[in-house]
Structure 1
Amino acid sequence: MERPQFSRFLPSYRWIIDNEGKNKISPSFDFANAYNGGNSLKFMAEHLDAGKSSNITLFASDLKIDKGAKFSVSMRSDQALKVSAILELANGQKVSIAGDKSLTENWSEISFDVKKFEGQTIKKIGLSIKSDQAMDFKGINLGEMTLTNGQKVAPIALSDAKVTDEAFEEEGTVGGFRLSWKSDATKNNLSTYEIYQLNDDGNKEFLGASNINAFFVNALKRGKNINSTKFEIVPINKAGESGHSVTTSVKWPDNSLAKAAFVADKTLVTIGEKVTLMNQSNLASVKYKWEIDGASPATSTEKNPQVSFDKAGSYSVKLTAINEKGQEDSVTQTELITVIDQPVELTIFALNQSVQVDSFTNESESGPKAVDGKLNTKWCAVGPGKHNITIDLGKSEKINQVLIDHAQKGGESPDMNTSDYTIEISKDNQNWTEVVNVKKNKLGETKDSFKQTEARYVRITATKPTQGADTAVRLYEIQVLGQKYS
């Protein structure tokens, strides 16, 4: 005889309630007051008269009561209640069996003695609730109903738990982990595996359940000053009993070190024009030291300083990032800023140029649509993989900026904006240099500036095409800008 649970089987009668007196009950599903991680059935007692019953018919069934059978429910109530099982037998007899204890505000197992009905078959199952005192607007929750044949179910033992795969994001503050383990469970005794996170304070947090020997922990947030996280896998047999559990752990990467990174809002300017240096150092960086050749000011401790230059030329920028312990990390971009002694006029080089793409959905969403100067057309590619588009500018040009119109600029949802992408440049379509690497973009329109460089080819690769799991890239327009040769 299998062991039914409300987490698996919904009532076949929804909802048949017979009330005595002025009793009034409203049934629903309760996800806030869940039993064993999922939900529960909630019966809101809008009013119960003292001593009056409400009978709730739940299941049609064809279950034989074998020798040694045990019948119970897991329930709770905001106010003390008596509960009885109402069984309709195959011989037409309708019986009421009082529970061995009253309901309280805590979840508890209420058992019903079915010994004298051994050999009978149950055709309907219901419950009857009664309060010794009047009730108004109190909740009653039913979490699980169990009918077993009294036979012992073998306990389950686990071994060899491992973290078989791991991935870290957001500077090591969020992780994803695949857990696996060995089990001696059989299909006749396994109910589920429960997975918990074991915390340093001795408590454990339920992460989920699996019916196979593996589980993926998705987007787990790292706690403050946590260097490792321990997981416990608990086997549950069909009697609801926990077996021999196993544990495994994962080490988080050291993210206490500073890591310097920055970009400029523009890299080709005229004399006196302001340039904003935008800090992209990691979260561990708390202080900054800038050194900018030929700039005013030439040094700064601001996070995102603005500088200008009073002479034409090419100038390097150095950023030193410092963590809370005073440890430093530096990065220098040589000749990042080009200053000219005339007004800056950027030329668009990509318009209607030849392109190559790794794939596209159809002719109306092919690669050339991304450089046709229109925002009502797009290049779209679907399926797995890192989709890319390569633009041939026709000849080598001095380029320093790429503008991209993503899904939102074309009228689609912001969730479709490209999250992560790289920009590479090349003179020969064979040797490539990465000049831009963007992560976690949310904007519908992006402007990426880089050191002015001669190149003929520009390749954009969408490494994470959307904000979510959608793998389709949608680029409405790409502009490659730079300084026209005189």
Structure 2
Amino acid sequence: MISNITFDNIIMPGSSTPAQNLYQMNFTDTSFYSGVTILPTQIPEPAQRTNLALNKAATASSATGPSSYAVDGNLSTRWGSNYTDSEWIYVDLGTSLSINGVRLNWKTAFGKSYQIQVSNDLTNWSNVYTTTTGDGGIDDISFTPTNARYVRMNGTQRGSIYGYSLWEFEVYGVMNNLATGAVVTGSSSLENSNWSTSKANDG
């Protein structure tokens, strides 16, 4: 536990104003901190959310840093693409979930133009967010709730001479039951059309 610490005028990459809470400084788990003072202005921390992409399988169009590094929860590892405009990375949530947000934590190699796309079959992709004015740093993106298994950052224009690089690619949802659709094993089960282990998390 870290306690009684003061942060004064902390300006994060991509921002022109000082951070006002730990979340804005990329401290995603605030349970390790108490008695924190943030200057010159402090606001309440947002409600803790579950990152649905954490440690899930990730696949990218190219990789100078492994795609898994974008979803490992470690802000000292990163995924990086080749130095071309048309690059992408997607995360497999394992099952279709109701999602409504994505948080992209860019390294200096960021996306100026990109879409957040969703799919349930890796063939048909739908845009839930589009920008042509990305400026790096943290992109905290909200969109209308939608059901999807795969979530992709589809880059179309780089914001630097490098490729695209993400410290973290996070996905958030709407009060999801994370057990829905997962494999269930029990010590015993009376199997019939109404009773089985698969019924325990079928929604």
Q: Same fold (TM over 0.5)?
A: yes
In structure 1, C-alpha distance between the alignment counterparts of 2:74 and 2:123, rounded to whole Å: 29
Q: How does 1:236-255 map to 2 (within 5 A)?
A: none
| Offset from partner CA, 1:79-110 (integer Å, 9 cap, x none) | xxxxxxxxxxxxxxxxxxxxxxxxxxxxxxxx
**What is the one-letter code of the residue matched to 1:417?**
F
Compute the displacement of 1:390 (Å). 1.2
Q: What SS does structure 1 have at the residue aligned with 2:69?
A: helix
Does 2:169 align with 1:478?
yes
CA contact (8 A) 2:110 2:163 kept: no
In structure 1, C-alpha distance between the alignment counterparts of 2:100 and 2:157, rounded to whole Å: 24
In structure 2, C-alpha distance between the alignment counterparts of 1:402 and 1:392, rounded to whole Å: 14
Relative contact order: is structure 1 or structure 2 higher (C-alpha 8 Å, sep ≥ 6)? 2
TM-score scaled to structure 2, two decimals? Answer: 0.60
Cα RMSD after superposing both structures: 1.7
| Offset from partner CA, 1:202-245 (integer Å, 9 cap, x none) | xxxxxxxxxxxxxxxxxxxxxxxxxxxxxxxxxxxxxxxxxxxx
Identity of aligned residues (%): 32
Q: What SS does structure 2 have at the residue aligned with 1:352?
A: coil
Match of 1:393 among 93, 97, 108: 93
Compute the displacement of 1:442 (Å). 1.3
Structure 1 counterpart of 2:18: none
**What is the one-letter code of the residue matched to 1:483?**
V
In structure 2, C-alpha distance between the alignment counterparts of 1:445 and 1:353, rounded to whole Å: 21
Structure 2 counterpart of 1:44: none
Q: What SS does structure 2 have at the residue aligned with 1:437?
A: strand
Compute the displacement of 1:394 (Å). 0.5
**What is the one-letter code of the residue matched to 2:123?**
Q
Structure 2 counterpart of 1:433: 126
Stretches of structure 2 that go unaligned for 5 or more consecutive residues are 1-46, 178-203
Compute the displacement of 1:385 (Å). 4.2
Match of 2:56 among 341, 353, 374: 353
| Offset from partner CA, 1:155-194 (integer Å, 9 cap, x none) | xxxxxxxxxxxxxxxxxxxxxxxxxxxxxxxxxxxxxxxx
Q: Whose strand fraction is larger, Structure 1's or Structure 2's?
A: 1
Compute the displacement of 1:345 (Å). 6.3
**What is the one-letter code of the residue matched to 1:457?**
Y
CA contact (8 A) 1:347 1:483 kept: no
Compute the displacement of 1:384 (Å). 2.6
| Offset from partner CA, 1:13-71 (integer Å, 9 cap, x none) | xxxxxxxxxxxxxxxxxxxxxxxxxxxxxxxxxxxxxxxxxxxxxxxxxxxxxxxxxxx
Larger radius of gyration: 1
Does 2:66 align with 1:375?
no
Stretches of structure 1 that go unaligned for 5 or more consecutive residues are 1-343
In structure 2, C-alpha distance between the alignment counterparts of 1:456 and 1:484, rounded to whole Å: 15
Compute the displacement of 1:485 (Å). 3.1
TM-score scaled to structure 1, two decimals? Answer: 0.26
Compute the displacement of 1:428 (Å). 1.6
**What is the one-letter code of the residue matched to 1:477?**
E
Q: What SS does structure 2 have at the residue aligned with 1:349?
A: coil
Compute the displacement of 1:346 (Å). 3.6
**What is the one-letter code of the residue matched to 2:50?**
T
CA contact (8 A) 1:346 1:484 kept: no
